[in-house]
Amino acid sequence: MPTVQKSYMYEMIRSELAWVVGEEHIQTTDSDKLGHSIDYYWVPELWHDRGEKLTPPDFIVHPATAKEVSEILKIANTHNIPVIPWGGGSGSQGGALPIYGGIMLDMKRMNKVLSIDPVSMTTTVEVGINTQHLEWEIEKAGYSTMHLPASIACATLGGFIAHRGTGVLSTKYGKMEDMIMSLEVVTPTGEIINTLPVPRHASGPDLTQMFLGSEGTLGVVTKATMKIHPIPESRKFHAFLFKTMHDAMVAGSRIMTSRLRPCVIRLYDEPETAKLIKKVLGIDKQGAYLVFGFDGYEKMVDLEMEQACEICKTLEHEDLGTEMGQSWWDNRYKFFYPPYMFHMPQAFGTLDTVATFSNIEKVYWAMKNTIKENFPQATFIGHFSHWYEWGCMLYARFIIDEPPKDPHEAIALYNKIWDMAIRAAIKEGGVINEHHGVGLKLGRIMKDLYGPAYKVLQDIKKVMDPNNIMNPGKMGFQGKGA
């Protein structure tokens, strides 16, 4: 595609796209191209920081309907041009980067709440909607999506669908794949299809689940029906400090395996407790900080909270009480604002991994030891974010305060850390990853993760997208090449 940019074909294709969406809704300015050349992935951020030239999209197109999306994909097939769906652009894996140029399909114009069904407690929405706007609109109607991630204000619903995103309250209300009822999808060849209207059925494999997490490689999700929930009468929090992360993990896993239903549990390892919990919440303690919450009818919240606290008290602990738990909830997004978030010139990455309770500590130590032994310049911290009946997610992070000045050297070091740490995690039963997605960052590891099963994913991609126009080169799938 970049060769086309300087030829008359550039204007030929631009005119075709403008005919579909209108002149006003196609951008080719330097301002717009810059904004769409960088997402929340460290590598393009570094590239910009070091003054290197980024790869921009050729066209940024804002469709208003599924039919317009369909027409755009047909044009892309005709000219064999890559199409990259873009929501909020806040993905951390490089999934929305236009690595081969092409058409950036910015979905934010499709941002309407189409209906709310108070009987079934569902809402049908266009997926380009910013999730904070969605939540505000649903709250005004008296409900909540209960999808409250730190990136709620940054990302679109489509972005969360693309990466199987999750929110702070996932332990009770589920991840995106638990929240979605059905999808409208434009396939790579331009057909507009709908998946079955309910997520529980015995009518063959579940197409909704196939598109969830496909990161724009199997088509463009344009509409979704998702669950909504009543606003709970009460939501309460409690925090404990344990001497070791292991003790805190035992407490957290016992809460989950006892089948209590917290809306959130979060456990910070000793280094993150000392560093981030102190910096953001002002709690200056040595040990592992564990916070959990319950919501619903107040009587049930109090009862479940009492039981959870009893479990914690069977281990060596310091009871930090409700205030230091509530403080975490009140400041839960603060961790992600500057200057609290890691930032340039630091190199940093979230080694997001999920595993069973039997394996999760082994995964933690495998990654931590790998980094400690091989990258002495890196700091390793971690917390356990999203908890299930069988295990939890490890939100491990490495930070290098002074990475190499040369951007190629810096990226080489960065990739080596990922390669070694993630492969160490996979050996111990870890899965990459729980909610950030694969994108460009982790595509090369997909074959190791899936083994022979990866061919099934590749075959699905080939059949659905014969010209390989949809987000090529992501999730380990074939690139567009020269």
Partner 1 sequence: MNIKKCIDAINACRFCFMCRHLDPVGNVTFNESDTPRGRALIIDKIRMDRENLNNQDFINTMYKSALSAANRYHCVSHYDEAGLVLAVRKDIVEAGLAPEAVKKLAKELEHVDFKVEGKGSNLYFGEMPELYPDSKLISGGDPGKALEVLGFTNESKNVFEKFKKAVINSKCETLIVAEPSSYDFLKNKFDNIKVIHSSEYLLSAGVNSQTQSKAYYLDSDYLKNYNDNLKAPRELLESAGYKLAMFGTNQEESYSVGEGAVVYDKLYPELAKKLAERVWEQADNPETDLIITASSYTKSILKKYNPAFNVITVEEAVLKAKGN
Interaction site with partner 1 (CB under 8 A): 27, 29-32, 34-36, 38, 40, 45, 48, 51, 60, 62, 88-90, 106, 108-109, 111, 128, 130, 132-133, 136-137, 139-140, 151, 153-155, 333-334, 336-341, 343-344
Query: For residue 52, what is the DSSP state?
Result: P
Write down the least CB distance from residue 381 to partner 1, Å.
20
Q: How far is the CB of 142 from partner 1 (least distance, A)?
A: 12
Compute the distance between CA of residue 154 and CA of residue 1 in angstroms, rounded to an integer: 29
Cβ of residue 230: shortest distance to partner 1, in angstroms?
18
Q: Is the peptide bond before 339 cis (omega within 30 degrees of 0)?
A: yes
Specify the 3-state DSSP secondary structure of 25. helix
Count of CA atoms in the C-beta half-sphere (13 A) of 5:
13
Which residue type does 103 have?
I
Beta bridge partners of 227: 122
Find the shortest distance in angstroms from Cβ 65 to partner 1.
Answer: 14
Q: How far is the CB of 127 from partner 1 (least distance, A)?
A: 14
Q: Got the DSSP string for 440-470?
A: TTSGGGHHHHHGGGHHHHHHHHHHH-TT--B
Shortest spacing between CB 352 and partner 1, in angstroms: 18
How far apart are CB 150 and partner 1 at their closest, in Å? 8
**In the complex, least distance from residue 31 CB atom to partner 1, rounded to whole angstroms:** 4
Using an 8 Å Cβ cutoff, are 331 and 324 in contact?
Answer: no
- Closer to partner 1 by CB, 36 or 227: give it: 36
Other beta carbons within 10 Å of 21: 19
DSSP-assigned states of every residue in 120-153:
TTEEEEETTSBHHHHHHHHHHTTEE-----TTTT
Question: For partner 1, which is the closer residue by CB, 137 or 298?
Answer: 137
* Structural contact between residues 262 and 255, judged by C-beta atoms closer than 8 angstroms: yes
What are the two backbone dihedrals, phi and then psi, of residue 94, each rounded to the nearest 5 degrees? 75, 15
How large is the greatest C-alpha to C-alpha distance in the chain, in angstroms? 74
Q: Nearer Cβ to partner 1, position 60 or 251?
A: 60
Q: Smaller CB distance to partner 1: residue 40 or 384?
A: 40
Shortest Å distance, C-beta 281 to partner 1: 13
- Residues with Cβ within 8 Å of 19's Cβ and at least 6 positions away in sequence, in order, are none
Q: Of 48 and 243, which CB lies nearer to partner 1 in the complex structure?
A: 48
CB closer to partner 1, 319 vs 330: 330
Q: Which of residues 35 and 479 has its CB atom nearest to partner 1 in the complex?
A: 35
The Cα 341–Cα 349 span in angstroms is 11
Nearer to partner 1, 26 or 305 (CB): 26
Question: Backbone phi, then psi, for 455, in 5-degree steps?
Answer: -60, -30
Kind of pairing between the strands at 317-321 and 234-242 = antiparallel
Rg (CA), the chain: 23
Nearer to partner 1, 50 or 74 (CB): 50
- Nearest-CA neighbor of 360 among 429, 424, 417? 429
